[in-house]
Structure 1
Amino acid sequence: MKSSKNELAYFILTLLFVGLFAGIYILFGRQHHITPTQTTTPVVTRQASDQDVNQNIEKAVHQAEANPSNDSIFAAQEALKQLENGEEKQAFQARLDAVSTELTNETTATTAVETAEASLNSNDATTAQNAINQLKNEGKKNDLQNRLNTVLNTINGGAASQAATPAPAN
């Protein structure tokens, strides 16, 4: 087969470009190796930094305990990520878990009381009572118990009036 002059020209140009790119790679391709620099951090600075991190975590956890909300728990959890695994982190995590559990129980109890208020059903009132019994926050517990007592009085008053009213004769 006879090759044309254009094919030969393209072949030569291809070889030149491959050679050019190989040369550029050989010259500049090895400059991307990063050599680690030696940095020495004074131990005193690290200890001070660890103390600052612990203080920030303590503040965040205390804020979550004093003012339990999803935002405060999330902020404390984010602060806790800075601490390495160990006894301190486990202690902070246990405190956060307790706050999170109580917040979940409060939300569940509030929802149960609202359901009992809306339905005026004794089964819903029993569910709400069980949820209230799980709470540790006495203020919230008393508030929800008072609301539930109102519902129970309404349910029991309705049941007593229904019992006192004779059934219609057919």
Structure 2
Amino acid sequence: MMLTGGSDVVYCKLLMSTLADVTLEWFVILPDGHVTTFDQFTTLFREQYLVNRAPTRLSYDVFDIKQYQGESLKEFLNRFKIQVVRLKPTDEAMKVHAFVKGMLSGPFSESLLRFYLKTFTEIRHRALAHIAAHDRVTEKHVPVGPIRPRATDRPQPMRVHEMTTEKKGAGKPNMVPIT
């Protein structure tokens, strides 16, 4: 339409054909003659549905990214990288500080506090080395051989307490002394 041209009336009618549900109901209840140009219609539409738009994210929102309890360093690093791409913070020191601040306390976060890194790329390289080392260590702690299964057909031993209580009370009637 934009390339071949068209009138505002045609634009409005074609746009109306793309509306559905509540949006179509809103369009239908507009008073006749209320909308005279397509620009006016787009302004009304934006005002009506502006609240449905996602809030504008700012670069310092990167400080809201926190590592969840039980989340691995690898998962947090990946989630942080995705948010950095979306938020587009330009200050490298801000990214570094936000990452360190968002991490849970642990060996890696303590090492970052000891050796101040200047760029997020340096943090990423150090984190990947830490993750690889952690994976190698946990790999060594996995049992090498199969675990021996328990025998299931073994008879259960009889308890001593059960044997003595059966013999004591067997066959004796309860007697009450007469006074």
Per the normalisation by structure 2, the TM-score is: 0.29
Per the normalisation by structure 1, the TM-score is: 0.30
Structure with more relative contact order (C-alpha pairs < 8 Å, separation 6 or more): 2
| Greater helix share, structure number | 1
